[in-house]
Structure 1
Amino acid sequence: MTESDAQSASTEDRYRALLAVSAAVTAYRDLRTLFHELAGQLAGVVPFDALSLVLHDDPTGTMRLHVLETDEPISPRLEIVLSPADDPAGLVWRTQQPLITASLNELQRWPRFRERVEPYGAQSYCWLPLTTPRRRLGALVFTSRQPAAYNGSDVPFLQLVANQVAVAVENAMAFEEIEALKEKLAKEKAYLEEEVRTEHQFGDIVGENAALRAILKQVETVAPTESTVLIRGETGTGKELIARAVHDLSPRRDRTLVKLNCAAIPTGLLESELFGHEKGAFTGAICQRIGRFELAHQGTLFLDEVGDIPLELQPKLLRVLQEHEIERLGGTKTIRVNVRLVAATHRDLAAMMAEGRFRNDLYYRLNVFPLELPPLRERQDDIPRLVRHFTQAFARRMGRRIESIPSAVMDALVRYPWPGNVRELQNVIERAVILSNGSTLQVPAADLHPAARPAADSCAVETITLTDAEREHILRALHDSNWVLGGPNGAAARLGMKRSTLHWKIKKLGISRSG
């Protein structure tokens, strides 16, 4: 065969390979599958031992190795994430000009890149810009273990291949964005449907108590800002309602309010729930899943019981608050998120911080604008309003007619200390509506006596209030512990409560050592 015939055959082979590349680009949506097919089609016409795709990652401003197709498996797995100045692909991406190097010596300008690739025995490279009419994507890279495997005559054909690959990459990225958006919309739809099912007639904040009105005034002040809000209060005081009010009065009201109770999620799954995970990140991760932060992008995330987040997970939450970026579990891609955080807890975070169970820096990040909700026992003037509100709401739901509430019933409800706060009151009224046969609300007396009294006391003439019983119980524990509050044998441990809680109860009940 003459030299002219050989050149003609080579041109013909490259033409057929280019047609095959075009067919593969339209046939395969997954980039790894596409590159495997490209390697097979180009193997006979281009000398290479590895074919790789390096893309510019806009959020981080780095060049990232996305796909690496080799003739045989390599170990350890090659991972390259470098700044454009440290990667030859960055120069190609910036200048939009191909680059050929014949040996490792020509990589001295990029020492960090050379350090990563040198162990794999590669000698020569050909980088080609990946560009479409809409954007600059990165570079297509041919690599060979042979020195001087590429020259300028290879560039026109290889650039035609790169142009086809650029279209495929842009389409694949668009498809991934569409799929991610579809998943996010599906999740938002599920959340909104759940919101409808919870019936927001119970979402109204009912009350005219001065302390509650002061809180709502603060909500009006902070809601239009982007500041983090920390809602503190006992269980059942309505922390979620206040979080919803912050969201509804904010510029994000038209976006999703995403909720997560950190105490309700097993510790091992909480990281995945917050930040999402990639397929195969752990046993049982059969598909990619977006986390609550991604789901709340441009909206509000309400983290209830934030004090229950494990210490080892707290730095990741801090990073989101500081950097506004996350990484899914098992992933390497940095994802920017724009989320307004509202957190809530019934715990004493300051005490937990002093005990080393909560990070100082995270506490200060969360405690930008604290709101302290009063317990229901400090809102006695609101109890009649709440009773009427819940009575009518449950009566409508159950198709009942409750027209009157006896004064004796209302007085008993007002006097009761409501350790479970508004949530307990709501549950008691729901039960009362179910059990009331006529148009008058009847509250079973047992519902207002949570601590059952022993049978031996049934004949006692004197009645002791719940507050008096609690006071006597605490005094007994204090005497038994010689008035030592903390430690394993202290009164707090005997009573099964935190030292700070016991200190608050002693002050509230007016207990003194002389008394």
Structure 2
Amino acid sequence: MAAARILVVDDEPDIRATIGDILEDEGYAVDLAESAAAAREARRSRQPDVVLLDIWMPDLDGISLLREWNERGGLPCPVVMISGHGTVETAVEATRLGAWDFIEKPISLTKLLLVVGHALEAGRLKRENEGLRRQLPAPAELVGSGRATQALRAQIDKLAAHDTGVLVQGEPGTGKETLARALHERSTRRAGPFVTVAAGAIAREHAAIALFGAEDANGLQQGLIEQANGGTLFLDEVADLDPELQLRLSSVIERRALIRCGGHEPVAIGARVIAATAHDLEALVAAGRFREELYYQLKVVPLTVPPLRERSDDIPELLRYHADWFANRDKLPYRHFPVAVQNRLRHYVWPGNLRELRNLVQRLLVLGSGGDVGLDEVELALGQVATATVPAAAAGSAPAIDFSLPLREAREQFERAYLLYQLDAAGGSVGKLAKAVGMERTHLYRKLKDLDIDPRGGARE
């Protein structure tokens, strides 16, 4: 993993150089700035993990710079103030503006390293918490001891020792994001962020800023790619990126740097790229719908996730794991899957793969009663899944609708079944779903939320 980056802002050359030398000797990457203007530029070009900021400087004092950062999108990271003759009022104002700690001059080597270490840990925990808030809680383990899963786990262990790009291929719902997370957790970047870019879920008009960030005279906004620095960037369903974004992404991977929207200078990027797709990218390249250079940049090492029907030996473990997980997360009563039920589900074809299994287990825990899951419950649940995911012509009947319901509720029942089918046909891509059903994407997201449909099938893949 890349060394933590410390920005030292102090107008006294001797102090600036001394602090820089001490921190570099401890293995940190250090940027030095002699003024507020230099600090702005250093922060713009390379995002620091901690800032050491002198209070008294000739062009603009540290408190004013702290206030400026705080008003323009929040502090970039933990900021430690350096003061030789601060007052109580100064300390109170800096604390109010978000300063993390203070170091007094003359600087104690022991205290400097202690404060920097604690600030780095605080920044890491904050990023992790923010990442957890952005994401749906989901199982992040490769569950199963069948041959296919053991082979996949062995491949991940080998790849974890390297920093190369990986292209994860597999049907929708097979757990591609879970695999990417497992690879991240086994790698040297595990202490860094894991940032997911769900290409199909970003509105086209905001996609460039969301991915590459933006900057203007009023400040800067980090994009998702920049937020992955020091960690892993997971490109979920990369085939959904439009041609312009494909071109810009290819340039970022090639140059290991990006230019924010509205910016002019490159920003260094140090993230491992793991991409995933349920599509045949080679066919899309041949059809002119995916950039060839980006395809080869992503496919340094291809990794295929087998569908669940080829992992039938894992079904018993997966059922136990998810029953336990939902019982703990949602405080549902734990239920046991008897051998007869396990055997029935081992021979089920699982068109929705792991996503379908998770939803099935959750449904059985929510709606069922008693300690053991019965075969009749499973057959009923599988029948409802088939109704929701197979068109009437193929199923031999129309979707089941309770005609005793009021019109509004019956309509919602039909709309939910219809959108679930269309979402499955679109491979989980909201962009493709919007085109298929003829809805504007913002309205579609609202409709999915109203119908309690998670575009990602209830968990990230």
Q: Give the alignment's TM-score, normalised by structure 2.
A: 0.58
C-alpha contact (below 8 Å) 2:195/2:233 kept by paired residues:
yes
- Aligned residue identity for 1:347: H
DSSP 3-state at the match of 1:252: coil
**CA contact 1:402–1:438 (8 Å) conserved in 2:** no
Which residue of 1 is the match for residue 204 of structure 2?
267
The superposition leaves residues 66-88 of structure 1 with CA deviations (integer Å, 9 ceiling, x where unpaired) of xxxxxxxxxxxxxxxxxxxxxxx
Aligned to 1:448: 382
Residue 196 to residue 384, structure 1, CA distance change in 2 (3 Å): farther
Q: Is the 8 A contact 2:323 2:335 kept in 1?
A: no
Separation in 1, partners of 2:40, 2:338: 69
Output aligned runs, 1:98-497, within 5 Å.
167=35, 169-170=37-38, 173=41, 178=51, 179=69, 182-183=75-76, 189=126, 191-195=128-132, 202-279=139-216, 288-402=220-334, 404-442=336-374, 443-449=377-383, 450-452=385-387, 453-454=395-396
Give the match's secondary structure for 1:278. Answer: strand
Query: Is contact 1:384–1:410 with CA below 8 Å preserved after alignment?
Result: yes
The residue matched to 1:301 in structure 2 has which SS? strand
Alignment of 1:42-121 (within 5 A): none
Deviations 1:440-487 (A, max 9, x none): 12434232133344469x9xxxxxxxxxxxxxxxxxxxxxxxxxxxxx
| Matched AA of 1:451 | A
Q: What secondary structure is seen at the aligned counterpart in 2 of 1:206?
A: coil
The normalised TM-score by structure 1 is 0.52
SS in structure 2 opposite 1:245?
helix
Larger Rg: 1
Partner SS for 1:344: strand
- The CA distance in 2 between the partners of 1:444 and 1:188, in whole Å, is 42
Give the deviation of 1:424 after TM superposition. Answer: 0.8
- 2:102 aligns with none
- CA drift of 1:243 comes to 0.6
Name the aligned partner's letter for residue 245 of structure 1. A
Q: CA RMSD in A?
A: 3.3
CA distance in 2, matches of 1:174, 1:363: 33
> Is residue 262–residue 306 contact of structure 1 (8 Å, CA) maintained in 2?
yes
SS at match of 1:428: helix
Residue pair 1:232, 1:344 contacting (<8 A) in 2 also: yes
Q: Distance in 2 between matches of 1:398 and 1:295?
A: 30
1:299-327: CA deviation from partner (whole Å, max 9, x where unpaired)? 11111111111112212111111111100
Cα shift at 1:397: 3.4
Taking the aligned partners of 2:178 and 2:167, their CA distance within structure 1 comes to 13
Q: Which amino acid aligns with 2:362?
A: E
CA contact (8 A) 1:209 1:382 kept: yes
Higher relative contact order (CA 8 A, sep 6+): 2
Tell me, what secondary structure is at the counterpart of 2:214?
Answer: coil
The aligned length equals 296
Residues 188, 256 of structure 1: 8 Å contact kept: no
C-alpha distance in 2, partners of 1:359/1:399?
Answer: 46
User: What letter matches 2:191 in structure 1?
Assistant: D
**CA distance 1:398–1:268, shift in 2 (3 Å):** closer
Shift of 1:389: 1.3
Cα distance change on mapping 1:131 and 1:331 into 2, 3 Å? farther
CA contact (8 A) 1:229 1:366 kept: yes
Within 2, Cα distance between the matches of 1:352 and 1:382? Answer: 33
Mark the CA change 1:174 to 1:274 in structure 2 (over 3 Å): closer, same or farther: closer
Query: 1:11-39 deviations in whole A, cap 9, x for unaligned?
Result: xxxxxxxxxxxxxxxxxxxxxxxxxxxxx
